[in-house]
Chains A and B, each alone.
Chain A
Amino acid sequence: MILKRRLIQPMLLALMLGLAVSGCGSDYTVFHPAGPVAQSELNLIVLSTVVVGIIILLIWALWAYVLIRFRDKPGNKAPYWPTWRHHRLLEVLVFIFPVVALVIIAIPTIRKTYALAHIPSAKRPPLVIDVTSLDYKWLFEYPQEHVATVNYFYMPVGRPVLFELTAHSPFGAFWVPNLGGMEYTMPNRVLPLWLEATRTGIFDGRNANFSGKDFWRMSFKAHAVPESQFQSWAQGLRQHAPRLTDADWQKLQQFTVVRASSYSSYPSNTFPERPTEFTVHGLYYTPTHKP
């Protein structure tokens, strides 16, 4: 009996907790944007949820009504139309209804798809971080600051960051839900993704694409800090952190899970020479300085 209660109580608690936190707890990282990209994506999520929610409720209501009213029970007084198979107006309506719903979602979708492909030009010049996914770890290189980190990175608040993503491993996907949606990391290619933090914080990031048995451990921390703190952090690394040597680079390529670490410099051959994948010319920010 005691054993039973011991099992049931946490179960009930878990259910209530699950219901209570759905949508409002800070665990719902997608619902707690810390920057304009995630905010813009969340707005679209909310809009599309409301629109499809109306459709869902409408169909559920129709379904329940039909099921109750037209059940085959003796004494059911509902009309029986055994030959009703067409109704022009209804058929047009059921066509127009989803079209309207989709237009409401489609217009902001296209706008945002284009908007998120640009780094907003009015802002300060972006910080560039070159990201390489390796087997079960992340390498972040700062071509402007000439420092490198593994499994964590710092970014200044209020300044867009251009992530240039590549892989030295199977496909990965770079994802920091609080800051915005993901982008793949692929070998032999460099894909752009810009994110920005508007508040300070430490955000969880992880690999969202299966790349081997320890891929679930490929998480990293994104530290959003004020600009001055970011500069002093980079300065500190340049002065105190060890260099990332070729031997270290070879070691990073092995199938291992490693702790977070920092480097004061890195060899130039660790990242592809030039971005090959800024596919639509003129749409993306073109970086000017490479190591």
Chain B
Amino acid sequence: MTIYSPGKGWPMIKFDAVHKRFPNGTTAVDNLSLEMPEGGITVLVGSSGCGKTTTLRMINRMVDPTSGTIRVAGRDILEADAAELRRGIGYVIQQSGLFPHRTVLDNIATVPLLLGWGRKKARARASELLETVGLTAGAGRRYPHQLSGGQQQRVGVARALAADPPVLLMDEPFGAVDPVVRTQLQDELLRLQRELSKTIVFVTHDIDEAVRLGDRIAVFRTGGHLVQCAPPAELLARPADGFVADFLGAERGLKLLSLTTLADVPQRRATTVRAGEKPAPQAGWQLVTSAEGRPLGWLDPATAAMSGTGGTAGEAALVPVRPLSDGDSLLSALNESVASPSGLVARVDAEGVLTGVTSREEIHDRAGTAHATATRPASRAADEAPASHAALQRRTA
């Protein structure tokens, strides 16, 4: 089935009054009506047994609904041939599900080969994708068990992208890798998504992952009920009920700050000293910068006073600084302001050159305002939510 895509934001996938009851009598999905916009990441979250995976698997007919209709690009998928439909939809699962008897390259070439591209063209496309997902050409000749868990997941993503499908289904794809690798894979997915603009449906039980990746988050409750579907900021600010609030966790307020950037938080000139130069005595904590103006660390007032008698800034032991740029979140700023000995956060431009500093108090105030704005009563904030969300999203850009 060829999937025609009319444009960003249009509902690419549409569930209409969908029920799924399994033969053993359990209801996996209960009266689900949900739209997944084209070019966006819709994350389905909920505890195990809430029907999120069944919902995902109904999109490529790995599971057929008991009643209701599901449309992909406007077409009722029950009218399509299941195998052909699946070739037009990328599918990534938790343990990667790679074919252990095929090389990485042949694994990636699976769908192109099923579509009859021929071996040569399919392999050429597979090599191209190895690079897209950040693997070396050498990895293509290896077998899946010779790769790390993170690399296997990358191959799983490459395999799903091979025939360039407009829709990508990801069923807890990063659930089995360690937190560091998971963060890397999430960053990579966001980077890929900026380039490719696929319609992605992503299942996870990790709310942080959902907030990080989702343009929209759909929260499911046991028994297959959809409780709320909203952009992350709106969800965090105004959870529909106690269940959603509990699911989002006690640090809901902080998570909300992770969606707001530092961009419009004012900064002022910092007291700096170049490495190798004499620090001004008794000037409090001073920021030492390199010759190019990149922050190197904080200089202790006591050390500065001592070195005033002859030493230079470069020789002193510096307290590490973690400079932030406009794209970083208010949450990182709050964290850095707590960790910084001076209570100041060093701000840098895209090249890492110091532009100024912001105080702990300013960041704290801004965090409070941001939270208050987001959680304002629904009537007004709802109108602003999409716009503010767009500005907040893709903060890793």
Real complex partners, A and B?
A: no
- A-side residues, CB < 8 A to B, are none
